[in-house]
Structures are given as structure tokens and as C-alpha cells.
Structure 1
């Protein structure tokens, strides 16, 4: 990287300003945060685009996908597996290339614009009197600058739709919400004591039918749920990982009927982009099964982050046994996070899911660390800043310092860099919202009254 010094100065200055803002409790107007975010992102975009060094996947995976759309070919198949997601973003790449914008700029323009839109969304996600402070801090987030402006990775696109889905699902009112407030265990015990095991299925069916019964105000709730589902569906079209956001965003909706609507729309959006491949991407009907296979195929490459580099001597390696164990560990830990934070604010539950994923995952690119960043900055925990600074330094070392070496030197540095990431795992674990496992607002923790305002927080 030819502009390493300038990039480093921008990142360090941004961190310093973000920390001073935290210390001094600066709350600049939202437009100031947005303007600052635009300035630093555009600066780094131009320096990165003008640099002789370009990320490998940015050139050899993302660019072929955009060029395939420009030629009227399927971006998944034409990129030879380089792009293994739905073609939504390659459509945008194709349009920008058609306009004649050089790839080094057009490929990053998509992610930079998305990351700029994330700045006010972080303010909306945070809510409360410190919303503009949180937006300012995200505007200067080193990891966001690296991923959006330097790497051109598509995480900001997935995040802009995912965070917007949370904002829409939560709707107006207090930024503090409760998760599941109904005590299922207590109700089940009461039902068993009163009616016995034989009556349990009928009681469960009666409760389900009661939850599905229409009530006044459903139309407005359904509109909100449909819009939130549309946004979450678009997040899934950008990448597959926003599936981890679905439990939290559904719990922010007012009742079971709205959640069903949102879940239906969420699934319908990716399906639309899949079945319209023959129309928009020139995919033959008999090629769609192959496209699905490529999208589903995830090679078990480990050795980049966390615990797996210690089994691969810090190098990338195809280790199916490590990948399988790690994947199963993710599922177990995510379920535990949902159970532990089931009563918490759904945003806190989502933050817990994303952080525990980072702790136990067997495979990770530096851009993955951006997943939790908007949520952690919007709702910081006790160890939020050690986690933000630690992951940002680790990622910056890879993006800025290691790119000064040739291929041999880079791989040597990688053996140390990847294994050093294990130090961050306990920091991320501590950064989980342990102190917010129950609702913050007392009235939100009360039993739900289906006829009153608290209905908004009911599990059904």
C-alpha cells in the first residue's frame, strides 16, 4: 500500500477524536457526523483506488461478477465461484461499469455510500440523548473505513439494510425494548397442574389461535413488518450472514402476526432475485441448480483468526474437521446466547449473537469484524472500546502494514498476525452485553397486557 502513512494518520486521528468525544461527551449535530464520515471515506476511497495494491478478492472476485452482468452473463457462474452470493450487488456493479466509472472507484463506491448511510442509522439505532455522539463515533470507526474504503468488501451493504430493518421494526417510542417477557416455563407448569398432560396440546393450540386473532391496529403493524422484512431480505441478498440478525429483528415487532408477515417477506426477497436470474442475469433455467450449489458451497478454509491458526501454524488450510467442529460450536453458542438474552433488548441479544460468533468461529476475514460494530457503537458495553480498538488495530495491521511486504513477506507476517488474534477472543467475550441480560426499563419487564401499550413487547 503506497498511502499507508496517510491511511494510518487518518485512522489514528479518527480514533483519537472518537475517544475524546466519549470523554468530553461531545454531541455534535447529526449533519456534522455525516459530513465528517463522508470526508474521511471519500479521501481513503481515492487514495485506495489510486494505489498499485488492490485486494485480491476485490479484483479477482468482485470485478468479474460486475463484468459478467455487463455482458449479460450469470455473475455467480461467470466469476467461477469468486462471487457466491445472490446477484443483487453485481447488478449495481454492472450499472456503474456501464456508466464508464473505473472499477477501482465503482467497486468501492457501492460500499462507501452504504457505509455513509449507516452513520445516521447508527444514531437511530442508539436513540436517546447520545444518538449523535454514537453516529460521530461510527463515522470515525477505523474498521468501517478500512472495510468500506480500502477493501471494498460488501459488509456495509448488508449492514445498511440489516440495521435499517431493526430501526423500522422497532418503530417509534422508547429506544429501550424488552425481548420475550412471557414466562413460558411458569405458564406450562400452571397448565400442567391445572389440566394435566393430555390437555397441553389443546391449550397450546388455543394460545396460538388467540395470538393469531386479528385486532385493531394490525394494518399499520403489518405495513411496518413488511417494510422491515423487505429490508432484511435485501440484507440477505447482499450476503448470507445477516441470517444471524433475524431473531432480534423479529422480536422488535409488536406481535406474532407481524412477525409472520416480516419473516415471509424476508424470505420472498432473496427468492425473487433467485427466480429472476433468467430475466436479469441471462442465466439459463437449467443452470439455476448449479447457481444454488455454488452459493451454498463454502470451502472449509481455516487459519485466519481465533483458535484455528494454532492448528495450522498460522497459515490458511483446508481442514474440514476444524470447520465442522467450529460450525457446530457456532450453532450451540448462538442458541445459548438467544436463551441467555431472551428477555433483553433484542438489539442486545443480536449483539451477543454476533460477538459470540466472532469468538468461536473457525473461519473469518477481517471484514467480518464489522458485523457487530454498528450495534456495539450504538449500545456500548463496559468493554466495548477495548473490543473496538483491539479488532481495529488487528485489522489495520493486516490492511496497512502487511501490504508493505511482497508475497513471501506477507505470508510470513500472516503466521504471526493470525495467531495473535486469539488474544482478542476474551476481549470480545467480555464485550458482550452481560449487564443487560434483562430489560433496562422496569415497566418493560412487567407481564404483557394484550390490550395495553405493553402489547408491543409481547412474544406473541
Structure 2
């Protein structure tokens, strides 16, 4: 990488400025935060585009997908599995290439624009008097700059729609909310204890029962349904960029005020990916008999481990096809995510989402540096005690890979990779500490929102 020193200076200066802003409690106008983010990202995008080093997947996976759209071919099949998501982003790649923009700029333009749009969204996600401070800190986030402007990875695109879904789902009112405020399981258990199992079933699912009452229209029902449908539409677009935003869905649903709006959100969330899949023959030139092959390619995730976390210690720090480790780690993810949902079910849904994403980072068997951006908007918007140690730690680890290791030839790179990947295990306890442990129950901190209400609770704001 030719401009590693310049990039490193910009990133370190950004971290220092973000920490000083936290210390001095700077609250600049939002437009200032956005302009800072634009300047930083455009500068690094320019130096990365003219650099002699380009990320392998950026050139050999993303570029063929965009070129396939330009030729009227299916981007999943024509890229030979290099692109194994829905074709939404390759459509944008194809349009930019059609305008004659060189790929080194076009591919990064998509992610840089998305990451700039995330800056005001982080402010909206944070809410309250420190919203513009959080926007400035995200604008200066070194990992966001590396992923969007250097690597051109599509995480910012998934995040911009996912965070927007949270903002829409929360709606008007106080920025702090409680999660689950009604213990449905406890109500069912009490009903069984009092009335017995047979008599309790109609009280839960029968006419006039708990479920029936929850599905009845209430005051302002149309507006709430529209809010749920729009939040789901945005989340569906996030899933069209990548599949991982599925972990954001529980938090989005808890931010919606009632069951009807959650049903509407789930419907539109699923509808958007189906639309892009069903329209492949129209927009991507995919024949009907190729669609099963496209689905299989999207579903196929090779069990490559050894990049990050605990698995490199089983592979000597190299990539390896280890179905046993991948399977164990995947099951561990499911178990830990369910545990996080249960533990943080009464927390602010943003805090619950932060916990879900961080626990994923702690236990996952496979990860690229870009994955570490997933939790960044949520953790910056509602920082915890160890938020900045975690942000700095993952930025240092990722920056070493992007800026230092790219200075060497292939053999030296693999040697450094074996050390770098195993060193990532140090990140795991820091990420665990950064989880919102002190904010597990928002209902204990103030008034919880009433069932079916759009009003937010008055809860202690994060540090």
C-alpha cells in the first residue's frame, strides 16, 4: 500500500480528535460532523483508488459482479461465486460503470456515500443533547474509514439501511426506550396455574384472548402500521446488501410499539429480498432455470476459519477449511445470541442489539476485519464504559492488516498473517467488556413505555 503513512496519520489524528471531543464534550453542529466525515473519506478514497495495491476481493469478486450487470448477466453466477449475495449492490456498481467511472472509484463510491449517510443517522440513533458529538465520533471512526474508503467492503451499505430502520421504528419521542415491558410467559404460567392448561389455551389464542387483543387496531393504528412497514422495508434493503443484518431484526421489532406494527415490519422485511430474487430475470438477465443455482450460491458459505478470534489457534494462524470448527462456532453463535436476547430483553433495544453484535464478535469462528464495523454505529451512539478501548483495539488490529501487512510480498504477508490472526484473541475480552452490562434493564431506570404506546421511557442516558 503506497499511502499507508498518510492514511495512518489521518486515522490516528481522527481518534485523538474523537477522544478530545469526548473529554471536552464538544457538540458541533451536525453539518460540521458530516463535512469532517466527507473530507476524511474522500481523501482516503482518492489515495486508495490511485494506490498500486488493491484488495483482492474488491478486484476479483466485486468488480466482476458489477461488470456482469453491465453485460446483462447474473452477477452471482457470472462472478463464479465471488459475489454471493442478492444483486442489489451490483446493480449500483453496473450503473456507475456504465457512466464510465473507473472501478477503483466506482466500487468505493458506493460504500463511501453510504458511510457518509451513516453520520447523521448515528446522531438520530443517539438522540439527546450529545447526538452531534456521536455523529462527529463516527465521522472520525478509523475502522469505518478503512472499510468504506480503503477496502470498499459493503458493510456500510447494510448498516445505513439497518440503522435507518432503527430510527424509523423508534419514531418520535424520547430516544431512550425499554425493551420487553410485559412478561408474556409469566402471564401464561399464571393463567395455567389458575385455570389449567385446557382452559388457558382460549385465553391466550382464542377470540378475545391475549393474542386476539394484541392484534386489534388501536389509536393511530394506520400511522403505526406505516411506521412498521417502512422500518421493515429498510431492513429488507439491509438484507439485500448482506445476510448478517438478520441480527438487527429483534432490536428493530422491539422498538415498534405493538404486535400489529411488528407483523407489518416482518412482512416488508421479507418482501424486499424476495422482490430482488424474483426480478432477476428482468434486471439481471437470469433465466428461470438458473434461479435455483443462484439461491444455492447465496446459501453456500464455505467453512473457512483461521482469520480471527479463537480459530487461528487451531490452524496455526492460516486460513483452513474446517467444517468441525465452523459448525461448533456457528452453534455457539446461535446459543450466545439467544442468551444475549434473554439477558438484554428489558434493555433499550439499541443496547440489546449492541450486545448481540458484540457477542457474535466474541464467539464467531470466521470473520473478516469488515465484520467489526457491524457494532460501530450502535456502540458509538450509546457508548459503554469500555466502548473506546474496544473501538481503538479493533481499529489497531484492522489497521495493522490494511496498512502494515500490505507492504510485504506474499511469503512475508502469510508469515505476518499467522501472527496477526492469532493476536486477535486479545480483542475478545475487550469486546466482551464493551457490552452494555450496566444497562440490562431499562425498566428499572425509569418509566417504561405503556403497551402499544409510542411514548418512550425516561431512562438514564449512556455515558
Same fold (TM over 0.5): yes
Query: Relative to structure 1, is the Cα distance of residues 203 and 276 closer, same or farther in structure 2, using a 3 angstrom cutoff?
Result: same
Q: Where does residue 5 of structure 2 map in the other structure?
A: 5
- Tell me which of 356, 359, 364 is aligned to 2:362: 359
Alpha carbons 2:228, 2:261 under 8 Å: kept: yes
Match of 2:79 in 1: 79
**How far apart, in 1, do the equivalents of 2:154 and 2:26 lie?**
31
Q: 1:420 aligns with which of 399, 418, 423?
A: 423
Asked if the contact 1:369–1:391 (Cα under 8 Å) also holds between the matched residues in 2, the reply is yes
Question: 1:2-401 alignment to 2 at 5 Å?
Answer: 2-205=2-205, 206-401=209-404
Question: What SS class does the counterpart of residue 442 from structure 2 fall into?
Answer: coil
Hey, what's the Cα distance between the residues in 1 that align with 2:86 and 2:454? Answer: 40
Q: Following the alignment from structure 2 to structure 1, what is the Cα–Cα distance between the partners of residues 143 and 201?
A: 50
Map Cα deviations across residues 24-68 of structure 1 (whole Å, 9 max, x no partner): 111111000000000000000000000000000000000000000
Per the TM alignment, residue 3 of structure 1 is displaced from its structure 2 partner at its CA by: 0.3
Give the structure 1 partner of residue 461 of structure 2: none
* SS in structure 2 at match of 1:173: coil
Deviation at 1:454, TM superposition (A): 5.7
Shift of 1:226: 1.1
Secondary structure of the 2:256 match is coil
Give the alignment's Cα RMSD to 1 decimal: 1.4
Q: Structure 1 CA distance, aligned partners of 2:455 and 2:139?
A: 35
Query: In structure 2, what is the Cα distance between the partners aligned to 1:441 and 1:33?
Result: 34
1:442 Cα shift? 4.2
Instruction: Give TM-score, length-normalised by structure 1.
Output: 0.97
* Segment of structure 1 superposing worse, 119-128 or 179-188: 179-188
State how far apart, in whole Å, the 2-side matches of 1:107 and 1:397 are: 23
Q: Say which SS state the counterpart of residue 274 (structure 2) adopts.
A: helix
1:21 is displaced (CA, Å) by 0.4
- Contact (CA 8 Å) 1:326, 1:362: kept in 2 or not? yes
Whole-Å Cα distance in 2 between the matches of residues 8 and 385 of structure 1? Answer: 18
Q: Deviations along 1:411-436, whole A, 9 cap, x unmatched?
A: 00000000000001000001000000
Q: Which whole-Å CA distance do the structure 1 matches of 2:89 and 2:170 have between them?
A: 27
| CA shift in 2, pair 1:241/1:453, >3 Å | closer
Contact 1:176 1:441 (8 Å CA) reproduced:
no
**What is the CA-CA distance between 1:106 and the residue it aligns to?**
0.3
- CA distance in 2 between partners of 1:183 and 1:89 (Å): 41
Check 1:449–1:236 CA distance in 2 against 1; reply closer, same or farther (3 A cut).
Answer: closer
Q: Displacement, 1:183?
A: 1.8
Deviating 4+ runs (over 2 angstroms): 440-446, 452-457
Q: Deviations over 1:341-362 (max 9, x none)?
A: 0001111110000000000000
Deviation at 1:209, TM superposition (A): 0.5
For 1:278 and 1:454, the matched residues in 2 are separated by 45
**TM-score, normalised by the number of residues in structure 2:** 0.96
**Distance between the aligned counterparts of 2:258 and 2:383, measured in 1?**
28
> Which of these residues, 434, 437, 442, is aligned with residue 439 of structure 1?
442
How many Å separate the matches in 2 of 1:29 and 1:143? Answer: 23
Query: How far apart, in 2, do the equivalents of 1:106 and 1:285 lie?
Result: 30
2:448, 2:457 within 8 Å by CA — same for their partners in 1? no
Distance across 2 between alignment mates of 1:328 and 1:312 = 20
Q: Within 2, Cα distance between the matches of 1:290 and 1:200?
A: 47
Structure 1 residue 202: deviation in Å? Answer: 1.2
Alpha-carbon distance, 1:276 to partner: 0.1
- Deviation, 1:204, is 1.3
The answer to whether the 8 Å contact 2:257/2:451 transfers is no
Cα deviation for residue 77 of structure 1 reads: 0.0
Pair 1:259–1:456, CA change in 2 (3 A):
farther
> Displacement of 1:192 after TM fit?
2.1
